[in-house]
């Protein structure tokens, strides 16, 4: 069960981190990404195309085509990916999904959830894709 993000957002994060981990290889096919991540090829392709539209990653057609990062990994935060795919809902909506919950009329978990939400947002905004490149961390996605 996902607590904060949609499945599409989880896959977008995985896809971008996979591209960072394998950046030295250049273009990587959707088929390879899907196979290595255990995700439907159609779903990962559509998800990554959303990031192509905003210029975060690039897509090239043809035999040597595939996806690759279009920007410096140091300039891409995990929070940016989350906001592109899911918007700001994870940081604004009630954790229990109650539409009437807000600061003026909080639910029972509101005050307990708020610090966790702020901590998650701070962590995501301070974590860049570059931190997942092989020279900076252990390999996440083993080929």
In the chain, what are the helix, strand and coil shares in percent, each to the nearest 5? 55, 10, 40
Residue 135 within any structural domain of the chain? no
Question: What is the tens place of the pLDDT at every residue in 116-126?
Answer: 889 999 999 99
Structural domain for 54, as ranges: 7-87
- Rounded mean pLDDT of 20-31? 92
pTM for the full predicted model: 0.85
Residue 113 within any structural domain of the chain? no
Q: The CATH number of the domain where 47 resides is what?
A: 1.10.10.10
CB neighbour class for 124 (10 Å; exposed up to 12, middle 13-18, buried from 19): buried
Q: Which of the four pLDDT bands, split at 50, 70 and 90, describes residue 65?
A: confident
Question: What is the tens place of the pLDDT at every residue in 84-94?
Answer: 999 988 888 88
Number of domains in the chain: 1
């Amino acid at each position: 069960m996902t607590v904060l993000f949609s499945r599409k957002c989880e896959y977008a994060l995985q896809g971008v981190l996979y591209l960072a981990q394998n950046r030295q290889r250049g273009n990587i096919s959707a088929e390879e990404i899907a196979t290595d991540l255990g995700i439907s090829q159609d779903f990962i392709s559509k998800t990554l195309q959303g990031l192509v539209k905003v210029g975060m990653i690039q897509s090239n057609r043809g035999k040597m085509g595939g996806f690759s990062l279009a920007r410096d990994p140091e300039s891409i935060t995990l929070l940016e990916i989350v906001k592109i795919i899911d918007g700001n809902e994870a940081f604004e909506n009630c954790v229990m999904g109650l539409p009437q919950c807000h600061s003026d009329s909080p639910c029972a978990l509101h005050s307990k959830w708020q610090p966790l939400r702020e901590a998650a947002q701070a962590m995501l905004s301070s974590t860049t894709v570059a931190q997942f490149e092989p020279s900076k961390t252990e390999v996440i996605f083993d080929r």
